[in-house]
Amino acid sequence: MDPEQQGKKLYSYPILKLHEIVASLRSLNIAFAEDDLRSCQPDALRKILEEFIRNTMGIGRDEMSQPALIGLSELTVQLHSGSVGEITYFRTISRLLATAGLRDFRWDDVYKPTLKRYRRILSALINFTRFRYERWARVGQNEDKLVRIRAERQAAEEENATLRRQLADLQSEQSAEAEALQHAMDESSALEVEIYTLNKRQAVVRHENTGLKAQCGHLRDDYASLRIDISEAKTTVNKLETKIVNSPARFKADIGDISVKVDAAKEELALLEARSTELDSIYEAFARADQETNAAVDLMHETEVESQSCRNEKRNIKAQHHEIENTFHKTKQAVAHHARLHKLVLQRNTQFEQYKMQHSTKLQAADNALASATTELKDLLETICSIEHNTQTTSHATQELKRHASREESAFKRRMQEMDEAFEKLDLQVKGYSRTVLSALPVSVS
């Protein structure tokens, strides 16, 4: 399988057209010349890739050109001073493209890029840059949400503490008023029993009062009829007195009759007076019963007022109890909301820690790859240095050095094939350096 087919399987991004690449680069504020882009100029591509490195990795052009390899001062400066920036640039862009999904970047893409490779490289970087911006925006949103959730959590905790204090105050008030409430309920029960007894007594007294009123009416009618009879009797007596004849016998007979009538009238008057006295006593008893009835009605009215006040107090107590239950329910809701917020904060923190761990893992892998590449490059440079030293010290070992260089190159190729494909392409530049050294050997011998 050739590298082109192998690279196609690694692409997880769309290959953009040239006008889409131009529009995307302009939207990313990357300076370039469109003619150079269309003509696939290596310098133009390098400037664009350096801008991507600076924007995504924070590494500038000056930093990549600084020699930071261990033991570089012991090498031949004229041979390797120009290769430091190239190798650093190649390693950095290879790492960036491998992260973006393009793992077959080679030296030909640096010095002899084609339009097809041009499009793939820029498409990978544009896709990765957009993905990076989206992730950074999402991380920013998550951080804003985390700040807002923490603020809501703080507010919920403060509200929860306030509600708990209110609940404790209400419970203390309820416990303090429990004795008074029980006393009021006992008094209300006693008053209800007393009201029930007075209602029964009132019903009996009303029935007796109705009977006494009817009896009093009958007695008053009898008394009025007796007074009328007495008045008629007096009138008859006066009429009879005017008709009296002054004969002694008749006078005596009339006197006897009159005395009999007077005695009968006296007896009847005594009966009437006794009846009137009885009626007066009955009237007084009725008046006392009426007064007692009015007193009982007043007492019942006062009892009704007390009962109404007790009922109002019971309603107030029920309202306070309902308010306490509502406060307790709100407190439970606040506690549940606090638990949900705490769980959400834990989830956000877990996601944030996962993002940090992934980022640190990627950085660690990149550092390990960089250390491995540095070690391999150091070994390679030491081998080349030994070859150059042996070439300068003796011209008779030229063929041996060639064979040794060939063996070193073969061994280096085998080692580089086991490494990442990005670092495998470094062998091409090393062979170029070896050819330069070998081509320079006959001149130095002569």
Per-residue pLDDT, 387: 58
**Residue 223 resides in a domain:** yes
pLDDT in tens, 10-69: 445 667 667 777 777 777 777 766 666 676 777 778 777 777 777 777 776 666 666 555
Per-residue pLDDT, 346: 80
Query: Does residue 74 register a pLDDT over 60?
Result: no
Query: Does residue 399 register a pLDDT over 70?
Result: no
Q: How far apart are the C-alpha atoms of 257 and 35, rounded to whole Å?
A: 169
Per-residue pLDDT, 344: 75
Percentage of residues in the chain with pLDDT exceeding 90?
Answer: 0
Query: Does residue 376 register a pLDDT over 50?
Result: yes
58 burial (CB, 10 Å; 0-12 / 13-18 / 19+) is: exposed
User: pLDDT band at residue 247, thresholds of 50, 70 and 90?
Assistant: low
The per-residue pLDDT of the chain, averaged, comes to: 72
Per-residue pLDDT, 412: 62
Q: How far apart are the C-alpha atoms of 302 and 73, rounded to whole Å?
A: 114
User: pLDDT band at residue 168, thresholds of 50, 70 and 90?
Assistant: confident
Query: Does residue 446 register a pLDDT over 80?
Result: no
pLDDT in tens, 310-362: 777 777 777 777 777 777 777 777 777 777 777 877 877 777 777 677 766 76
**Residue 406 resides in a domain:** no
Phi, psi of 396 (to 5 degrees): -75, -20
Percentage of residues in the chain with pLDDT exceeding 70?
Answer: 64
**Residue 138 resides in a domain:** no
**Residue 260 resides in a domain:** yes
Query: Does residue 204 register a pLDDT over 70?
Result: yes
pLDDT in tens, 254-293: 667 777 777 777 777 777 777 777 777 777 777 777 777 7
Per-residue pLDDT, 25: 76
The better pLDDT of the pair 341, 149 is held by 149
Q: How far apart are the C-alpha atoms of 294 and 288, rounded to whole Å?
A: 10
Per-residue pLDDT, 210: 81
Per-residue pLDDT, 252: 66
Number of domains in the chain: 1
Query: Does residue 71 register a pLDDT over 50?
Result: no
**Residue 304 resides in a domain:** yes
Query: Does residue 443 register a pLDDT over 60?
Result: no
**Residue 445 resides in a domain:** no
Per-residue pLDDT, 315: 79
The Cα-based distances of 406 to 73, 136, 377, 388 in angstroms read: 26, 49, 17, 14
Query: Does residue 164 register a pLDDT over 80?
Result: yes
**Nearest-CA neighbor of 124 among 103, 154, 106?**
103
Query: Does residue 83 register a pLDDT over 50?
Result: yes
Average pLDDT over residues 373-382: 67
> Which range has highest mean pLDDT (2-16, 130-144, 387-401)?
130-144
377 in Cβ contact with 192 (< 8 Å): no
**Residue 165 resides in a domain:** no
**Residue 160 resides in a domain:** no
pLDDT in tens, 222-241: 778 878 878 887 788 777 76
Torsion over CA: 124, 126, 131, 136 (sign): positive
Query: Does residue 211 register a pLDDT over 50?
Result: yes
Query: Does residue 170 register a pLDDT over 60?
Result: yes
Q: How far apart are the C-alpha atoms of 428 and 386, rounded to whole Å?
A: 19
Which domain, by its residues, includes 335?
Answer: 178-344
